[in-house]
């Protein structure tokens, strides 16, 4: 697979109502190499983002909510004073889909703007 993060951020999530298999271990491994700092755990990818204060954390949460709404693919988030943990999985298929990696790449891009 020759995709780069730029390729992932230029993609749009596709509706997923189930009926398709989750990504294979090899596919997950390939996509994980394209999103720095994300960890695989229990058919989910997770990353912790650190901030200077609560205001920055909440601004990030709102930006993730905006991206999630546009992509119609929503993460689980846990926010605290100076950090936010973001977790993606595709519940409809019981594992990871390309949508999870597209959204992860788009969230990471927030820090390069």
Q: Please tell me the class of the 1-8+39-113 domain.
A: alpha beta
Alpha helices in 33-97 (DSSP H): 54-71
Q: Which residue ranges make up each domain of the chain?
A: 1-8+39-113
Pairing of β 44-50 and β 83-88: antiparallel
- 5 pLDDT more than 60: no
Q: What's the pTM?
A: 0.89
Return the number of other C-beta atoms located less than 10 Å from residue 55's C-beta.
9
pLDDT tens figures, 10-65: 888 887 777 889 999 999 999 999 999 999 999 999 999 999 999 999 999 999 99
Sign of the dihedral through C-alpha 85, 71, 7, 25: positive
């Amino acid at each position: 697979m020759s995709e780069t993060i730029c390729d992932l951020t230029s993609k749009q999530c596709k509706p997923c109502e189930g009926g398709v298999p989750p990504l294979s271990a090899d596919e997950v491994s390939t996509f994980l190499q394209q999103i720095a700092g994300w960890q695989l755990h229990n058919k989910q990818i997770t990353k912790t983002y650190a901030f200077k204060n609560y205001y920055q954390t909440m601004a990030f949460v709102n930006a993730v909510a905006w991206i999630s709404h546009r992509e119609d693919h929503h993460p689980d988030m846990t926010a605290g004073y100076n950090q936010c943990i973001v977790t993606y999985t595709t519940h409809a298929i019981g594992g990871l889909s390309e949508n999870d990696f597209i959204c992860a790449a788009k969230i990471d891009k927030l820090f390069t703007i």
